[in-house]
Amino acid sequence: MESLPAPLEHPPKEDRNWAVAAHLAPIAGYLVAIGQILVPLSILLFGPDRPFVKEQAKEALNAQISFTLYWIVVVFLYISIIGIPLAVLLTLFLGVFVLWTMIAAAVAVSDGRPYRYPLIVRLIR
């Protein structure tokens, strides 16, 4: 008879709260230069040393690094006069995409499910 896979361990509430902070706190970090990167980085380095928290802090950090690189590309498009129409469209898309994925990540990790951001470069492993 085939055995059922072991149920996934549900992370404790404290771990889920740290993971939610790693995904949502960068919103406030956008008010300070590179704060959106420093928040998940500080949770990764100084937060609790538990697998769920570390995994989600890395994911949030990778997402914020990627989003920052995308915004830099948009700024260069604004600087080049020819790229302005594309830059306007990308600004609208990125604004919605970044906020949407950060909220989706927070909802998922608050339920104890790991979240993987789409369309990001995973530099930190």
Summarised one tens digit per residue, pLDDT across range 16-38 is 999 999 999 888 877 877 889 99
The neighbour count for residue 37, using CB atoms within 10 Å, is 18
Residue 116 has pLDDT above 70, yes or no: yes
pLDDT tens digit sequence for 53-104: 999 999 999 999 999 999 999 999 899 878 889 999 999 999 999 999 999 9
7 pLDDT band, cuts 50/70/90, is: very low
Using pLDDT thresholds of 50, 70 and 90, give the confidence band for residue 8: low
Report yes or no: 31 and 85 within 8 Å, Cβ to Cβ: no
Can you give the pLDDT at residue 5? 41
Look at residue 29 in the predicted model and tell me its pLDDT. 78
Alpha carbon distance 58, 41 (integer Å): 8
Hey, what are 40's tokens? 């998940």
Answer for the pair 70, 86: CB distance below 8 angstroms, yes or no.
no
Model pTM score: 0.86
> Higher model confidence: residue 5 or residue 80?
80
Q: How many CB atoms lie within 10 A of CB 54?
A: 19
Cβ(56)–Cβ(22) below 8 Å: yes
Give dist(CA 61, CA 76) in Å, integer: 23
Residues 68, 34: contact at Cβ < 8 Å?
yes
